[in-house]
Amino acid sequence: MLSRTGRPLAQVLFGPIARACVKAGISADAITIIGTCATVILSLTLLPTNHLVIGAILIAVVVIFDNLDGQIARLTGTASPWGAFLDSTLDRIADGAIFAGLLAWAYLHASEATKPWLLISLLAALVLGSVVPYARARAESVGVDAAVGIAERADRIVIIGLSTILVGAGLSEWILVIAASYLTLASCVTIVQRMACVWREKKNPATGETVEE
């Protein structure tokens, strides 16, 4: 939901930066690629080495600035299916790196009491979280805009980021277990919501049969 409600605010906050990037000749694709590389490097170096607070903060900064690519594309008139494809694909890589870094941290540094629960919940959140954008992409491939759900990318990043900071600051590791478990459940709900959206749009009410594309 944050992906939709936060877009107007992001346009106001990062509009000047986007215009500065355009003047400097920085393309939207360059921002997308640089942001993904930075996220992967930070996730796979700081998180596994138990630098949770600084790691989560720096990752959050990079992810926030990743909003610039869309604004730059619109300002330069270079928005295209290729740009959307690149952004979506690299987002999946960045998200995977974040959860991989947390899984490595849990394996190396978590207490014995929480380690199994962390590994299970984080892995489930990673797998089901990757299905959420896939469900939307498949919906769009059959002509349905399934931009619905309670666990879009921004929601997942904010929740896992805040819980990581809290655990890194010395609070209970169960906070991260609860956060990852919630993301798992929310991803399941979002997947079902998107499946229901496609079913409503593509089910022929007269015959009860799916409409062929």
Report how far Cα 170 is from the mean position of its chain's Cα atoms: 25
Residue 196 host element (H or E)? helix 174-202
Report how far Cα 29 is from the mean position of its chain's Cα atoms: 18
Q: Both ends of the chain: CA-CA distance in Å? A: 29
Position 106 in a domain: yes
Quick: pLDDT tens for 93-149: 999 999 999 999 999 999 999 999 999 999 999 999 999 999 988 898 888 888 888
Position 211 in a domain: no
Position 207 in a domain: no
Position 129 in a domain: yes
Position 16 in a domain: yes
Quick: pLDDT tens for 139-188: 988 888 888 888 888 888 999 999 999 999 999 999 999 999 999 999 99
Position 209 in a domain: no
Position 208 in a domain: no
Range of the domain at 78: 2-202
CATH number for the domain harbouring residue 73: 1.20.120.1760
Question: Among 29, 87, 91, 155, which one carries the catalytic annotation?
Answer: 91
How many domains does the chain fold into?
Answer: 1
Task: Based on the residue annotation, tell me whether 66 is a catalytic residue of this protein.
Answer: no
Residues near 174 by beta carbon (within 8 Å), at least 6 away in sequence = 114, 117
Of the candidates 7, 153, 151, 138, which has an alpha carbon nearest to the alpha carbon of residue 87?
Answer: 153
